[in-house]
Structure formats: C-alpha cells, structure tokens
Amino acid sequence: MEDRKIKIHVENLKKNFGALEVLKDMSIDIFEGEVVVLLGPSGSGKSTFLRCLNQLEAATAGSITVDGKNITDKHTDINKVRENIGMVFQHFNLFPHKTVLENIMLAPVELKLMTKTEAKEKGMQLLNRVGLDAKADAYPSQLSGGQKQRIAIARSLAMNPDIMLFDEPTSALDPEMVGEVLAVMKELAAEGMTMVVVTHEIGFAKEVADRIVFMDDGYIVEQGTAQEVIMNPQEPRTIDFLNKVL
C-alpha cells in the first residue's frame, strides 16, 4: 500500500455550516485504484465529506489535494477538477426530457470536450458496458430505478473521470435492483477506478472495499480492512453501528 500513488490527500479538513461543525478534523490519504467504503450513522458527515472532495462544498479549514494539486486553493480551476471526479447520488437526477443517450452525451458536448459524434460513440460504449444499449433512445421515465442508476453511472463515466464518488447509490432502489447497480460498481473497481463509496451494503463493502472507514460525528473513528472494521471492530461506536445495520 505504502508505495502506491496517493490520489487524494485530505489534511485536517473541517466543514461548518454556520455554527454547526459537521466535519471536525478529517485527515486521510486515498491511493490510486483504491476502493474506500465510508460507513457511519446518518448525520455523521459522510455526504458532506464526499461533497468537499469535489468541491460542491467549500472546506472551512484544512486542505484537499488531488493528484498533487490543492483543490481547496482559491486559484484552482474547480471545473477542471470536477471533470475528473464523477459523482453518483442516491437520486439519479437524469434530465427527464432527454433520452438516455442524450443524458450521457450532454456534459462532454456542453463542455466542448467531445464532438457530438464522439460523445455518441462514447455514450453507446458506456451503455453497452452497463448493459443498457437497448435503452439508448428511451426516456428516464421508461426505466426502472436500477436502470436509471446504471445510466447515471454511465453519464458520470462519459467525462472519463479517474475518481468516482458514490453517495448511497442503492438506497433509493427496490431490493431486487440493488444487485445490478452494485455489479456495475464492482466492475469499475476491478478496472482500477479510485472510488469512495458511501453505502450501507455491508456485503458489497466486505467484497469490494480495500479499506473501510467508519465515521461518526465529523471524525474518522476507525479504519482498516473489512476483516478488521466489520468482522472485528474495536471502537464502541463502530460496534454499536454495526449491530444496527447487520
């Protein structure tokens, strides 16, 4: 692990909303190709942490460095940073009046990173990859929740990110659709994508995560392999949380 390249370096990150201190002091290094699963009770700051990683939220204090570049620095072009960091949310946020393929083509074309022809070709490749090439011309309303989330993942991948952030991507899905979304994520992980995943899917965490990070109350309480954190947690707050979700 130690000789691997540090992809994301977070140092003494703090985030307040007014008087509310949400992230109190977080430091972590995430390695290239690493899959980190973030666990923790509701309100512990998991979403805020992910949103700081792609600067949807500005840090109150501390720094975040991605590929050696300090993204919390005022002079950093945050749009360039975001192009490289895909994010998938619990709710898919697809554009309802655009087809599946148009949803996927939109960002690279708008940002002039690809021609329409290139974006279409890339879009079809991605649809194939998430097993939905037959749905290219469908509208989001014609898809199941699991299909919508696979499209949302494909849409993020259209920007060729090298980091993917997932914020409870399966929490809004009917149980029978969770597996198909996790399968796409698992494949991405196997291909070497650097991923930070907030999920309550403990099975996925055990199988796919290189590291589990347990957060509570704005701090990292405990981290390690699944064997360590899930099978043999040391901290009372971790044990208490696992007792509730397992």
One-letter amino acid for residue 84 of the chain = N
Residue 20 binds which one of Mg ion, ligand ADP, none, with CB within 5 to 8 A depending on kind?
Answer: ligand ADP
Q: Is 99 in the site for Mg ion (CB under 5 A)?
A: no
Q: Which residues contact 17 (CB under 8 A, 6 or more apart)?
A: none
Contact partner, 19, from ligand ADP, Mg ion, none, Cβ < 5-8 Å per class: none
**CA pair distance 52, 13, nearest whole angstrom:** 9
Helix (H, G, I), strand (E, B) or coil at 149: helix
Q: What is the number of residues in the chain?
A: 246
User: In the bound complex, which residue of the shown chain has the CB atom lying closest to Mg ion?
Assistant: 47
The CA-CA-CA angle for residues 187, 105, 81, to 5°, reads: 70
| The only residue of 36, 45, 54, 108 in contact with ligand ADP, by rule CB under 6 A | 45
With respect to ligand ADP, which residue has the nearer C-beta, 89 or 204?
Answer: 89
**Binding residue (CB under 6 A) for ligand ADP from 35, 37, 48, 229:** 48
Q: Which residues pair with 70 in a beta bridge?
A: 65
Piece of the chain touching ligand ADP by CB under 6 A; list 44-52, 151-159, 206-214, 236-244: 44-52
Distance between CA atoms of 195 and 170, rounded to whole angstroms?
A: 15
Q: Counting contacts by CB under 5 A, is residue 47 touching Mg ion?
A: yes
| Binding range to ligand ADP, per CB under 6 A, among 36-44, 99-107, 225-233, 237-245 | 36-44
Helix (H) or strand (E) holding 30: strand 20-31
Q: Which residues bind ligand ADP (CB under 6 A)?
A: 17, 20, 22, 40, 42-48
